[in-house]
């Protein structure tokens, strides 16, 4: 870093300026150092930015472009569609089905994130209280769930709730909770979504639990004990000591869960055999059906763009939290 | 400070996840060379007449020893999604099997090779089944080659009918239902027994009821398509369908005839009858997945109409073979189709596959065969879907499935479900192609 730039060596030194030269030189060098140092982070981050722009930015740009075009089967082959401005969007916003789907997606996300967080927290708290063996057993179970591919999980759930051979109907009937033989869980979207929610929450809990458990382990024992001595019960300790300390982690987990649950697609698509009924359409499914089943690629893209917009809000909260954590050093 | 750990922890976790997501999904493009032709056939060929495909390939290879034939089996559920994508990506097959309800959209968009001038070079082109030839014709030009047709009939258990005291094949819908009630009385105590196995999303058999009562799916009037499932006749047919299915079937109301394959459900013994294609009969007897011991206990008869002595119109389904315009090996593709549809293979297809071959000169094969005659007879009274360029989008949107499911589960009244479906059909059929 301190190697002198070549140009300076041949600088004519006058006697009057001689006294000042080292200072000026040092100042100039410091300036150069600072600018290289300032550039370094950009150089380091450049590959990442380029990669993200290539794999994420460009497709996103294409998606946006597509949403302003009339793009059907014929255009797909020609690889070019006529520009139709906001037609796809105005059609979308006047589409009653779209608003039903949006509302359904919000409710689905809310229920799933809520259940994931509550159950995940409870299991994490349980983990802190367990002995070594049970803790190991439970953690292993959680990791196995986390490692189960979605396709496999969906098939397992499908068989469990199968209307004819499913273990769920058999068990419920055996427990004398009513006649569940031949109960078709997907005939009513409410029970159908019950199954899907169970599947999604089941798959999401391990990450939340393991992360929170690691977080709980960092809560200073002294604080908890002090609170206990002051007569706080378990709930008070959680509310006033543990939770405030862990708040950033909760915020991050909630926003990550929102991002995941908002775009659930595989579980619904697979559990309904690639032919989900309209009652089961979330935004992701609606966009896919319009684009790839009905060949309305432009309209499907418009739905996807709206989805990306909504997701961006959730991501924004997440990123802001991350930045704040960076600032607390 | 503790907070920092927690934050760092979350950061690590988040990064791990994005790394995992980024790692998923890599694909390697298929390299194509000039000496390979890719054929997309539906998996019906794989399950019911693999020998015909094998014989075709070896006959073809005998003439073109330097050409590889790659037959890739597809499923009805998603082959069009894949086909559309492959057309855009330039990886479309050289030959594709299309259902006869699926061709119009591709013909209208000029995506299939025009065969009008070369059609004479294909075997039996003068005697192709008219219904299939129609499905290959758009504005007077021919875009595909008929492959086979299928009609549905009632496939039943002779032994169960006898034990329940049913002496002859029902001659009317009322008799059919009465026979079913007898079966339910005799066997209904068995959990999951169905006198008529009829899954809720079985579109093709359901629409037979609509057409039997004089209804239609849609009509072309004054330059516009109009969904007509909410007409009094159609609603009457659907209402009758609901009463028959509710009384006689314990099949899933949210399943369809292919998931699980109804012939396989039948082969497990708890089904008295089902409405199936000719090829589903041998499939039920398959050594690996079916039950060969039922061979002597099976029979078939055309589904009777609500008018005594008549047959209920059956959906005249079928398949065609087309060459996408993107194919780089068109001459080879034509030659493969010629081999696959010559008299030798068609004869095999009719006897092994139990389907109706693509030429009227071979239909006599069926009249003499008790396993084929009921289906050939059933096909004499048939219906077809609206021949709109957008029809396949109605299939793709699963509009009829959704309607049937809400009717059978009682989520909405017949009238309400039919009106909703009808409006949706009107809107889809009138969309710009």
Task: Please list the helix, strand and coil fractions of chain A in percent, rounded to the nearest 5, in that order.
Answer: 75, 0, 20
Q: Please give the pLDDT value at position B60.
A: 95
- Residues of B within 8 A of A254 (CB-CB) are none
In this prediction, what percent of chain B has a pLDDT beyond 70?
Answer: 92
Q: Is the pLDDT of residue B242 over 60?
A: yes
Confidence of residue A35 (pLDDT cuts 50, 70, 90): confident
Q: Looking at residues B160-188, what average pLDDT do you find?
A: 96
Side-chain half-sphere CA neighbours of A51 within 13 A: 7
Q: Is the pLDDT of residue A78 over 60?
A: yes
Average pLDDT value for chain B: 89
Query: What spatial distance separates the first Cα and last Cα of chain A, rounded to whole Å?
Result: 29
Report CA torsion sign: B132, B134, B136, B141: positive
DSSP H or E segment with residue A263 = none
Sole residue written with tokens 């259902």: B99
3-class SS of residue A320: helix
Q: How far is CA B286 from CA B179, B272, B298, in A?
A: 28, 18, 13
Q: How many Å apart are CA A40 and CA A34, to the nearest integer?
A: 10
Q: Looking at residues B205-211, what average pLDDT do you find?
A: 97
Q: Evaluate the omega torsion of the peptide bond into residue B79 and state whether it is cis, within 30 degrees of 0.
A: no
Q: How many Å apart are CA A164 and CA A162, to the nearest integer?
A: 6
Mutate to test the interface with B, among A52, A76, A77, A220 (most CBs of B within 10 A): A77
Give strand pairing partners of B96. B40, B322
Of B7, B88, B432, the CB nearest to A248: B7
Q: How many Å apart are CA B224 and CA B242, to the nearest integer?
A: 30
Sole residue written with tokens 């994420």: A56
DSSP H or E segment with residue A162 = none
Sole residue written with tokens 């694909």: B27
Q: Is the pLDDT of residue B13 over 80?
A: no
More confident residue, A329 or A55: A55
ipTM of the modeled complex? 0.76
3-class SS of residue A183: coil
More confident residue, A328 or A232: A232
The distance of A166 to chain B (nearest Cα, Å) reads 13
Q: What 8-state DSSP symbol labels residue A176?
A: T
DSSP codes of every residue in A200-259: HHHHHHHHHHHHHHHHHTTS-HHHHHHHHHTT--HHHHIIIIIHHHHHHHHHHHHHHHHH
Q: How many Å apart are CA B246 and CA B322, to the nearest integer?
A: 41
- Report CA Rg, chain A: 29
- Residues of B within 8 A of A273 (CB-CB) are 77, 259
Q: Please give the pLDDT value at position A306.
A: 95
Q: Is the pLDDT of residue B98 over 90?
A: yes
- Report CA Rg, chain B: 24
Q: Tens digits of per-residue pLDDT, A134-153?
A: 999 999 999 999 999 999 99
Q: How many Å apart are CA B32 and CA A196, to the nearest integer?
A: 41
Q: Please give the pLDDT value at position B1.
A: 41
Q: Is the pLDDT of residue B264 over 80?
A: yes
Q: Please give the pLDDT value at position A21.
A: 67
Which one, of B141, B144, B135, B126, lies nearest residue B359 by Cα?
A: B126
Confidence of residue B21 (pLDDT cuts 50, 70, 90): very low
In this prediction, what percent of chain A has a pLDDT beyond 90?
Answer: 60
Q: Looking at residues A242-264, what average pLDDT do you find?
A: 92
Which one, of B321, B365, B322, B357, lies nearest residue B149 by Cα?
A: B357
Window from A108-112, B115-119, B156-160, B183-187 with minimum mean pLDDT = B115-119
Q: Is the pLDDT of residue B24 over 70?
A: no
φ and ψ at residue A95, rounded to 5 degrees: -90, 115
Q: Please give the pLDDT value at position B11.
A: 47
Q: Judge contact between B132 and B320, C-beta under 8 A.
A: yes
Mutate to test the interface with B, among A165, A166, A184 (most CBs of B within 10 A): A184
Confidence of residue B33 (pLDDT cuts 50, 70, 90): very low
Confidence of residue A17 (pLDDT cuts 50, 70, 90): very low
Degrees, nearest 5: CA angle A285-A288-A292: 150
Q: How many Å apart are CA A281 and CA B308, to the nearest integer?
A: 43
Contact A77 B109 (CB under 8 A): yes
Contacts 24+ apart (CB under 8 A), B8-12: B9/A211, B9/A214, B9/A215, B9/A218, B9/A249, B10/A211, B10/A248, B10/A249, B10/A252, B10/A253, B10/A325, B11/A322, B11/A325
Contact A215 B105 (CB under 8 A): no
SS (H, E, C) chain B: CHHHHHHHHHHHHHHHHHHHHHHCCCCCCCCCCCCEEEEEEEHHHHHHCHHHHHHHHHHHHHHCCCCEEEEEEECCCCHHHHHHHHHHHCCCCCEEEEECCCHHHHHHCCCECCCCCCHHHCCCCCCECHHHHHHCEECCEECCEEEEEECEEEEEEHHHHHHCCCCCCCCCHHHHHHHHHHHHHHHCCCCCCEEEECCCCCHHHHHHHHHHCCCCCEEEECCEEEECCCCHHHHHHHHHHHHHHHHHCCCCCCCECEECEHHHHHHCCCEEEEEEECCHHHHHCCCCCCCHHHHHHEEEECCECCCCCCECCEECEEEEEECECCCCCHHHHHHHHHHHCCHHHHHHHHHHHCCEECEHHHCHHHHCCCCCHHHHHHCCCEECCCCCCCHHHHHHCCHHHHHHHHHHCCCCCHHHHHHHHHHHHHHHHCCCC
Which one, of A247, A210, A209, lies nearest residue A324 by Cα?
A: A247
Reading the block at residue A117, the tokens are 């967080």
Q: Is the pLDDT of residue B276 over 50?
A: yes
Q: Please give the pLDDT value at position A210.
A: 95
Burial class (CB in 10 A: 0-12, 13-18, 19+), B21: exposed
Q: Is the pLDDT of residue A11 over 70?
A: no
Sole residue written with tokens 């139709």: A84
Average pLDDT value for chain A: 88
**Interacting residues of A154 by C-beta distance below 8 A, sequence separation 6+:** A199, A266, A267, A270, A271
Q: Please give the pLDDT value at position B154.
A: 97
Q: Looking at residues B390-417, what average pLDDT do you find?
A: 94
Provide residues of A within 8 Å CB-CB of chain B.
Answer: 55, 70, 72-74, 76-77, 79, 163-164, 181-182, 184, 186-188, 207, 211, 214-215, 218-220, 245-246, 248-249, 252-253, 256, 273-275, 277-278, 289, 292-295, 322, 325-326, 328-329
Q: Is the pLDDT of residue B386 over 60?
A: yes
Which one, of B192, B183, B185, B129, lies nearest residue B161 by Cα?
A: B183
Window from A19-28, A217-226, B189-198, B244-253 with minimum mean pLDDT = A19-28
Give buried/exposed letters for B28-47 (b at 16+ CB in 10 A, else e). Answer: eeeeeeeeebbbbbbebbeb
Reading the block at residue B343, the tokens are 């008299």
Q: Is the pLDDT of residue A101 over 50?
A: yes
- Indicate the Cα dihedral angle A327, B1, B3, B4, nearest 10°: 60
Contact B77 A273 (CB under 8 A): yes
- Cite the DSSP H helix spans in A148-180: 150-160, 167-174
Q: How many Å apart are CA A196 and CA B348, to the nearest integer?
A: 46
Contact A218 B6 (CB under 8 A): yes
Q: Please give the pLDDT value at position A24.
A: 72
Contact A77 B401 (CB under 8 A): no
Confidence of residue B211 (pLDDT cuts 50, 70, 90): very high
Q: Please give the pLDDT value at position A149.
A: 95
3-class SS of residue A69: strand
Q: Looking at residues A47-56, what average pLDDT do you find?
A: 93
Window from A52-61, B196-205, B355-364 with minimum mean pLDDT = B355-364
Region for residue A78 given its phi and psi (left: phi exceeds 0; alpha: psi -120 to 50; beta: otherwise): alpha
The top-scoring range by mean pLDDT among A71-80, B32-41, B170-179 is B170-179
Which one, of B250, B75, B111, lies nearest residue B180 by Cα?
A: B250
Confidence of residue B34 (pLDDT cuts 50, 70, 90): low
Contact B109 A211 (CB under 8 A): no
Contact A184 B77 (CB under 8 A): no
3-class SS of residue A83: strand
Q: How many Å apart are CA B291 and CA B160, to the nearest integer?
A: 16
- Residues of A within 8 A of B256 (CB-CB) are 275
Confidence of residue B353 (pLDDT cuts 50, 70, 90): confident
Sheet holding B317-322, edge to edge: B68-74, B36-42, B95-99, B317-322, B145-150, B356-357
Q: Is the pLDDT of residue B20 over 70?
A: no
Of A184, A186, A328, the CB nearest to B4: A328
Q: How many Å apart are CA A52 and CA A29, to the nearest integer?
A: 35
Give strand pairing partners of A32. none
DSSP H or E segment with residue A72 = none
Q: How many Å apart are CA B217 and CA B215, to the nearest integer?
A: 7
Q: Looking at residues B273-295, what average pLDDT do you find?
A: 92
Q: Looking at residues B182-210, what average pLDDT do you find?
A: 95
Q: Please give the pLDDT value at position B367.
A: 77
């Amino acid at each position: 870093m301190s190697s002198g730039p070549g140009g300076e060596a041949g600088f004519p030194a006058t006697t009057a300026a001689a006294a000042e030269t080292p200072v000026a030189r040092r100042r100039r060098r410091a300036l150069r150092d600072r600018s290289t140092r300032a550039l370094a982070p950009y150089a380091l981050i450049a590959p990442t930015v380029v990669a993200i722009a290539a794999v994420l930015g460009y497709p996103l740009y294409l998606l946006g472009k597509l949403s302003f075009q009339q793009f059907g089967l014929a255009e797909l082959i020609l690889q070019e569609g006529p520009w139709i401005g906001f037609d796809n969007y105005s059609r979308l916003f006047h589409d009653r089905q779209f608003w039903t789907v949006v509302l359904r997606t919000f409710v689905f996300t809310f229920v799933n994130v809520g259940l994931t967080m509550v159950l995940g927290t409870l299991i994490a708290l349980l983990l802190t209280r367990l002995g070594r063996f049970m803790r190991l057993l439970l953690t292993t179970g959680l990791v196995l769930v986390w490692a189960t591919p979605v396709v496999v999980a969906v098939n397992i759930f499908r068989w469990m709730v199968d209307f004819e051979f499913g273990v769920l109907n058999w068990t419920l009937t055996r427990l004398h909770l009513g006649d569940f033989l031949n109960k078709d869980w997907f005939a009513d979207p409410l029970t159908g979504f019950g199954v899907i929610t169970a599947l999604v929450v089941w798959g999401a809990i391990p990450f939340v639990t393991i992360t929170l458990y690691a977080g709980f382990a960092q809560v200073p024992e002294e604080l908890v004990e002090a609170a206990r001595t002051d007569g706080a019960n378990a709930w008070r300790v959680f509310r006033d000591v543990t939770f405030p300390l862990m708040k950033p982690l909760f915020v991050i987990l909630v926003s990550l869960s929102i991002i995941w649950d908002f775009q659930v697609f595989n579980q619904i698509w697979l559990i309904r055999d690639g032919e989900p009924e309209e009652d089961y359409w979330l935004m992701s499914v609606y966009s896919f059906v319009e684009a790839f089943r009905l060949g309305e690629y432009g309209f499907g893209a418009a739905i996807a763009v709206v989805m990306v917009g909504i997701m961006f809000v959730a991501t924004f909260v997440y990123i802001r939290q991350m930045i704040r954590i960076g600032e607390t050093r | 400070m503790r907070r920092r750990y927690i934050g760092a922890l979350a950061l690590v976790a988040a990064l791990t996840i994005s790394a995992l997501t980024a790692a998923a999904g890599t694909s390697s493009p298929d390299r194509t060379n000039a000496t390979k032709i890719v054929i997309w056939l539906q998996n019906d060929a794989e399950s019911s007449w693999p020998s015909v495909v094998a014989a075709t390939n070896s006959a073809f290879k005998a003439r073109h020893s330097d050409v590889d034939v790659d037959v890739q089996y597809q499923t009805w559920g998603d082959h069009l999604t894949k086909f559309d994508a492959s057309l855009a990506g330039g990886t479309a097959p050289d030959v594709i099997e299309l259902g006869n309800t699926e061709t119009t959209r591709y013909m209208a968009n000029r995506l299939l090779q025009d065969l009008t001038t070369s059609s004479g070079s294909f075997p039996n082109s003068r005697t192709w089944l008219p219904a299939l030839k129609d499905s290959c014709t758009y504005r007077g030009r021919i875009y595909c080659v008929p492959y086979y047709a299928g009609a549905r009939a009632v496939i039943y258990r002779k032994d169960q009918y006898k034990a329940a005291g049913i002496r002859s094949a029902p001659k009317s819908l009322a008799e059919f239902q009465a026979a079913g009630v007898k079966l339910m009385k005799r066997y209904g105590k068995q959990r999951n027994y169905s006198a008529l196995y009829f899954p809720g999303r079985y579109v093709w058999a359901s629409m037979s009821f609509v057409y039997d009562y004089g209804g239609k799916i849609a009509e072309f009037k004054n330059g516009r398509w109009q969904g007509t499932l909410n007409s009094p006749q159609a609603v009457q047919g659907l209402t009758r369908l609901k009463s028959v299915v509710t009384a006689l079937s314990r099949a899933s109301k949210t399943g369809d005839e292919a998931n699980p394959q109804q012939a396989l459900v039948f082969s497990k013994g708890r089904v008295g009858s089902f409405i199936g294609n000719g090829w589903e009969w041998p499939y039920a007897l398959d050594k690996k997945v079916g039950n060969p011991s039922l061979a002597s206990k099976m029979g078939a008869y055309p589904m009777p109409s609500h008018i005594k002595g008549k047959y209920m119109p059956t959906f005249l389904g079928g398949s065609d073979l087309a060459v996408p315009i993107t194919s780089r090996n068109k001459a080879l593709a034509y030659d493969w189709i010629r081999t696959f549809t010559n008299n030798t293979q068609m004869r095999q297809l009719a006897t092994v596959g139990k389907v109706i071959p693509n030429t009227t000169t071979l239909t006599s094969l069926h009249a003499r065969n008790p396993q084929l005659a009921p289906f050939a007879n059933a096909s004499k009274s048939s219906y077809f879907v609206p021949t709109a360029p957008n029809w396949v989008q109605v299939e793709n949107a699963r509009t009829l499935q959704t309607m049937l499911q809400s009717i059978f589960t009682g989520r909405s009244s017949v009238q309400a479900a039919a009106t909703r479906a009808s409006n949706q059909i009107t809107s889809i059929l009138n969309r710009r192609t």
